[in-house]
Amino acid sequence: MPLQSSVESSSVVGHHSGGAGPLQEFLDTPGVTDVLVNAPGYAWIDTGTGLEQRPVALPTAGSVRELAVFLAASGGRRLDDASPMVDARLPGGVRLHAVLPPVADGCTVISLRVVRGGSHSLEDMETMGTVAPAIGVALRSLVKARASVVISGATGSGKTTLVSALLSCVSPQERMVIIEEAGELEPRHPHVVRLVERRPNIEGAGAVSLATLVRESLRMRPDRIVLGECRGVEIADVLTAANTGHRGGMVTLHANSIHEVPARVVALCALAGMSERAAVLQTSAGFQAVAHMERTAHGRVVSEVGIFSVDADRLRVDSALRVTRDGVEEGPAWHRWRESVEQAS
């Protein structure tokens, strides 16, 4: 049975001064990554160990809707019967997604994702157990060799934190251009240029896409081009950059394992109008490695690293190192991994 809030409120408006109203206390809680509301009276929060239910002062479906509309407006977006779904970035960087009834059955659904800056260094991640020492050595070699790397993993697995840590290992003499949907990456580096996607306004005008920003970055004298998350047609421009002399780039990609990255890449390339053969050739030539983040019962870990290869005109990723219960094991591609890093150097 859901927990019911004992706090009654005649109007949620009185709580708006706290940023996210009754949900602000959860957003301010250390370690919280997600705050979710599906029905009146309670919320679900995720602190990294799974969802927990908490009472909240949103006693009616109307109060949940009122808060969602307010949050959308604070992010410069419209949420009403004519536009019942919204995806916005709130002041401070929190991501909002909300859906109104009747699209959401019974009650407005609010999903808040807390964007926490990836301020950990690779050494910090090794100390925390996120990166095994042997994996850390391999990742540093990739950065030093200016290899182009895909960071894969599920939502909330720690991809952004790992990219920030790897970029912090880049030579301070290099200029990096970071392109994101929301400003999440925070590398410890003195020369960072940030470009952030702009959504269309209420009239549907003024949008600046990730694909456009990737193309613009090519004219900004970058040493490394980094795309915070690739999930659409911008992959074509990323592959173009990787194959036109811009080495050492990084991109994050949603995938369940390193072995599912090729299928994900080919599918995204199809959205951009690329044939499978073109996707295979462009990816294998432009990117060298994949590092996979996984969210486990013991925390977030870099579970495996591998290298791209082509077999019978099909793209694949072969494992070089993987984390097991007994430690880090060398995979079938370990020797090719070392050779490819040496060649890149």
335 band by pLDDT with thresholds 50, 70 and 90: confident
Q: Identify whether residues 201 and 239 lie together within a single domain.
A: yes
Q: Identify whether residues 164 and 284 lie together within a single domain.
A: yes
Q: Identify whether residues 308 and 201 lie together within a single domain.
A: yes
Spell out where the chain has E strands.
34-39, 42-46, 51-55, 85-89, 95-99, 109-113, 149-153, 176-180, 192-196, 224-227, 250-254, 289-296, 299-311, 314-324, 327-330
Predicted pLDDT of residue 4: 39
Q: Is the pLDDT of residue 14 over 60?
A: no
**DSSP strand pairing (299-311 vs 314-324):** antiparallel
Mean pLDDT, the chain, as a whole number? 88
Asked, for residue 327, whether it belongs to a domain, the answer is: yes
Asked, for residue 2, whether it belongs to a domain, the answer is: no
205 band by pLDDT with thresholds 50, 70 and 90: confident
Q: Identify whether residues 48 and 91 lie together within a single domain.
A: yes
Asked, for residue 1, whether it belongs to a domain, the answer is: no
What are residue 227's DSSP bridge partners? 179, 251
- pLDDT single digits (tens) 37-87: 999 999 999 987 778 999 999 999 999 999 999 999 998 888 999 999 998
Which residues make Cβ contacts (< 8 Å) with residue 67, sequence separation at least 6?
12, 15, 16, 20, 21, 22, 23, 58, 110
**DSSP strand pairing (109-113 vs 95-99):** antiparallel
Asked, for residue 99, whether it belongs to a domain, the answer is: yes
Domain boundary among 96, 113, 130: 113
Asked, for residue 6, whether it belongs to a domain, the answer is: no
Q: Identify whether residues 22 and 94 lie together within a single domain.
A: yes
**DSSP strand pairing (299-311 vs 289-296):** antiparallel
Q: Identify whether residues 141 and 231 lie together within a single domain.
A: yes
Which CATH number goes with the domain that contains 83? 3.30.450.90
Which CATH number goes with the domain that contains 156? 3.40.50.300
Q: Which of 221, 268, 231 is nearest to 251 (CA)?
A: 231
Domain boundary among 113, 134, 149: 113
pTM (2 d.p.): 0.80
Q: Identify whether residues 126 and 23 lie together within a single domain.
A: no
Encode 15-47 in three state secondary structure. HHHHCCHHHHHHHCCCCCCEEEEEECCEEEEEC
Predicted pLDDT of residue 345: 60
Asked, for residue 7, whether it belongs to a domain, the answer is: no
* 146-168: average pLDDT: 92
Q: Identify whether residues 209 and 261 lie together within a single domain.
A: yes
What are residue 299's DSSP bridge partners? 296
Asked, for residue 143, whether it belongs to a domain, the answer is: yes
Q: Identify whether residues 44 and 151 lie together within a single domain.
A: no
Q: Is the pLDDT of residue 1 over 50?
A: no
Q: Quickly tell me which residue has 């090719």 as its tokens.
A: 336
- pLDDT single digits (tens) 126-142: 998 999 999 999 999 99
Q: Identify whether residues 144 and 175 lie together within a single domain.
A: yes
Q: Identify whether residues 155 and 302 lie together within a single domain.
A: yes
Q: Identify whether residues 46 and 128 lie together within a single domain.
A: no
Domain boundary among 113, 146, 173: 113
For the chain, how many structural domains are there in total?
A: 2
Residue 102: is the preceding peptide bond cis (ω within 30°)? Answer: yes
Distance CA 29, CA 13 (A): 22
| Residues of the domain holding 70 | 12-113
Distance CA 235, CA 266 (A): 10
